[in-house]
Amino acid sequence: MPAATETIAAIATPPGFGGVGIVRISGPGVPDLARALLGQLPSPRHAHYARFRGDDGVALDEGLALYFPAPNSFTGEHVLELQGHGGPVVLDLVLARALALGARLARPGEFSERAFLNGKLDLAQAEAVADIIASGSAAAARAAMASLQGDFSRQVEVLTEQVITLRVHIEAAIDFPEEEVDFLADAELFRQLDALRASVANLRVNAGQGRVLRDGYTVVIAGPPNAGKSSLLNALSGEETAIVSAQAGTTRDVLRTHIAIDGLPLHVIDTAGLHASGDAVEQEGIRRARAAVNSADRVLLMLDHSTQPQAALPQPADLLGMHDLPPDLKVTVLYNKIDLTQAAPGLWDVPGEAPYLGLSVATGEGLDALRDHLKACAGYSAGSGVFSARRRHLDALDHAAAHLEAADARLRQERAGELAAEELRLVQAALGEITGAFTSDDLLGRIFSSFCIGK
């Protein structure tokens, strides 16, 4: 990539008041800017106490100045960090002085983008920088740090090398068709292909857990009025988040809360009771409930076991009053108030299109089983050392798996080496999208525009 010709600057600490505020500057103009702003160029990688001066020589602020000459910096360019007092006015004064000296205001994520373009980070590592900042739990922070340190990228690189080895094998067979040995029928070739498919599938599972850690798992509590939905929300969150009343229709809007179960971040949504209603406000609440159901990772369809017998085993679509459910919607039927019916808590071993789980929100029976069930549904296991991942990473791995399946079919069924080699090329391209080996300017723009300014 060509070297950047512009010097960029931004406030790198959050808005508001604090003990310390940081202005970050990166680019080829940093040495001259530092001399004008500080009176000298600080020694590399040493913290210097300095006054940050305006154009009239009067101090705007004072604090620590750190200079990182290229290429030994976060961005790979000359970088100057000014650590002064954390007030918005004084930080704006220092930033304005840097802009007056020739820097321009950085775009969101531009420092990380330059680190990627200068080869200091690959794309998955650069995304992990934003994921660390946005971590919603300790487990998510650890997973993001693992990605930043290259755990995810190294696994992708190992797969890429395996793909290249297969491509070499197949393309050699194509280039030397006069050889008596049929290399495309070699058992070792199919063994390597099977191993590669298994490795991609395993990485997809781990990346799926990393995506859940990053984005959270959305659980919608739905069902008829007075089944205990709001009580369940309060029990899971440990707070009186929702109003609980014996009067039907208490919840008329969508209530959201964020909790963690053994490090798994959950977005739990309580909804209005699904039933026929002539009340305009309640009808809007029911409409919003159905919209929430359509976007859920898991729907907890809650029923009152004292009035809805287990023997009926109704279908979730009938209970939800929705016959246009997404085909991949995951539903768990919860039978509440088992303390009134003496039913067993936990998952029930009964046939049906959805799992059935008995619990009592009033007594707490079955709540631990529900928590374990949600972790299993999300594919989450605490302490597995997973890395953070994004939806686009999962899509790339899905595309790689699909092209591997196609390559396998081309070889086993058709002995079409040229077509198999093209499928493997597409596998390599899909894996390359994860680390940025193959990417587009539009993709980079979408990724880095979601970052903080100053990062």
CATH of the domain at 288: 3.40.50.300
Residue 443 inside a domain? The answer is no
What pLDDT is attached to residue 369?
95
Q: Quick check: helix, strand or coil at residue 82?
A: strand
Same domain, 31 and 52: yes
Does the annotation list 229 as a binding residue? yes
Residue 2 inside a domain? The answer is no
Cis peptide before 71 (omega within 30 of 0): yes
Closest by Cα among 128, 109, 201, 122 to 449: 109
Does the annotation list 249 as a binding residue? yes
Among 120, 152, 178, where does a domain finish?
120
Same domain, 260 and 341: yes
Does the annotation list 16 as a binding residue? no
What pLDDT is attached to residue 195?
92
**159: containing domain:** 129-212+390-435
Same domain, 148 and 200: yes
Cα 168–173–178 angle (5° rounding)? 150
Among 346, 378, 410, where does a domain finish?
378
Which CATH number belongs to the domain containing residue 47 in this structure? 3.30.1360.120
Same domain, 135 and 169: yes
Same domain, 158 and 233: no
Among 73, 100, 120, where does a domain finish?
120
What pLDDT is attached to residue 275?
45
Does the annotation list 247 as a binding residue? yes
Does the annotation list 136 as a binding residue? no
Burial of 187 (0-12, 13-18, 19+ CB in 10 A): exposed
Amino acid making up residue 440: S
What pLDDT is attached to residue 134?
84
Does the annotation list 202 as a binding residue? no
Q: Quick check: helix, strand or coil at residue 278?
A: coil
Which CATH number belongs to the domain containing residue 195 in this structure? 1.20.120.430
Handedness of CA 9, 14, 15, 21 (dihedral sign): negative
What pLDDT is attached to residue 96?
96
Does the annotation list 173 as a binding residue? no
Same domain, 365 and 402: no
What pLDDT is attached to residue 223?
79
Same domain, 357 and 408: no
Cα gap 127→116, rounded to integer Å: 10
Same domain, 322 and 239: yes
Rg (CA), the chain: 28
What pLDDT is attached to residue 319?
54
Residue 18 inside a domain? The answer is yes
> Strand pairing partners for 347?
357
Does the annotation list 251 as a binding residue? yes
Cα gap 112→281, rounded to integer Å: 47
Does the annotation list 199 as a binding residue? no
Does the annotation list 26 as a binding residue? no
Does the annotation list 330 as a binding residue? no
The 10 Å Cβ neighbour count of residue 251 is 23
Residue 189 inside a domain? The answer is yes
Does the annotation list 120 as a binding residue? yes
Burial of 138 (0-12, 13-18, 19+ CB in 10 A): exposed
Same domain, 242 and 335: yes
* Element (DSSP H or E) covering residue 257: strand 255-261
* pLDDT tens by residue, the chain, 455 residues: 555 789 999 999 988 899 999 999 999 999 999 999 999 999 999 999 999 999 998 999 999 999 999 999 999 999 999 999 999 999 999 999 999 999 999 999 999 999 999 999 999 999 999 889 888 778 888 889 999 999 999 999 999 999 998 888 787 767 665 554 455 566 778 888 999 999 999 999 889 888 888 888 889 888 777 788 888 888 888 766 544 444 444 444 568 888 888 888 888 888 765 544 545 555 555 556 676 777 788 988 888 888 865 555 555 555 555 445 566 778 888 999 999 988 899 998 877 778 889 999 999 999 999 999 999 988 887 655 578 899 999 999 999 999 999 998 888 887 777 888 899 999 999 999 999 887 777 777 877 888 888 87
Residue 37 inside a domain? The answer is yes
Same domain, 113 and 146: no
Does the annotation list 354 as a binding residue? no
Residue 453 inside a domain? The answer is no
Which alpha helices (H) appear in 75-150, and where do they start and end? Answer: 88-100, 110-117, 123-133, 138-148
Q: Quick check: helix, strand or coil at residue 22?
A: strand
What pLDDT is attached to residue 210?
87
What pLDDT is attached to residue 309?
59
Cα gap 146→134, rounded to integer Å: 15
> Do residues 431 and 159 lie in contact, with contact meaning Cβ atoms separated by under 8 Å?
yes
Residue 85 inside a domain? The answer is yes
Closest by Cα among 200, 178, 177 to 417: 177
Does the annotation list 230 as a binding residue? yes
Q: For the chain, what is the domain count?
A: 3
Residue 449 inside a domain? The answer is no
Same domain, 189 and 153: yes
Cα gap 79→66, rounded to integer Å: 8
Does the annotation list 276 as a binding residue? no
Does the annotation list 250 as a binding residue? yes
Q: Quick check: helix, strand or coil at residue 315?
A: coil
Tell me if the pTM is above 0.85.
no
Does the annotation list 363 as a binding residue? no
Same domain, 313 and 358: yes
